[in-house]
Structure 1
Amino acid sequence: VKENQRLRIKHSDDPTKFLESEVSLAEEIRRLTELAVNPAELYPAFVAAHGGRVVVGLLQHANVDICAEALAVLSDLTEPEVMADCEDKVAGDFVESLVTDAKLPSIYIETLWRIYREQG
């Protein structure tokens, strides 16, 4: 994320200079869906590392394709079946971090609205 931001700022007038970092970022975001395969084992570390906050932060990325990837990951990570496989405390901490720390509800709505406007 930081490298992509750095390149976007440095080459704001030439998107081809940060295109590769955008593709890499999208791939890394998609890899986060792997957490949903074994949430009981993987979510505690993800929650402790404030991973939800990072994904929610990506909803404000300048590239709406990155935003859409982050929305898809959040959807996968919060599926009821996936959350049911977590310890109650971990699932609760994850949801609380999304709502309280990361301000997901308001950012989610803003992101959907921005994607709608930009994609027509």
Structure 2
Amino acid sequence: MKLACRTATPASDLEVMAEVVNLLDRRAAMKHPPLTLVVSDPVALGIAGIFASRTPGGKVLDRFYRKGVVDSDELIEAAQIEQAHTSPEGHAALYCLIGWVRARVHAARTAEPVAGA
């Protein structure tokens, strides 16, 4: 499924870090966090920008970062590949990006609004 980001301005690295930490803390405090509790669109773009590179997965992230449009399956696969080669903090950020994608796909299929948007 094609996903389009609703913003063209990515969050800064510090904004990404702060929102990822906040989101993970909020999700950890809940027994069953909702699928729709995700990072914002600017943070999703910011995460993609951090991991954009010349690797196959990095190229998908770079395309999303630059164009704001991507195939959901490609983005999830790229993020999962990059998770294997990054720090724990990077892994957490990519986990949040994957959650953002899954929430978008779910919202498109059920017409349910996404909290991070």
Over alpha carbons, which structure has the higher Rg? 1
Q: TM-score, normalised by structure 1?
A: 0.32
The normalised TM-score by structure 2 is 0.33
More strand by share: 2
The structure, 1 or 2, with the larger RCO (C-alpha pairs under 8 Å, 6+ apart) is 2
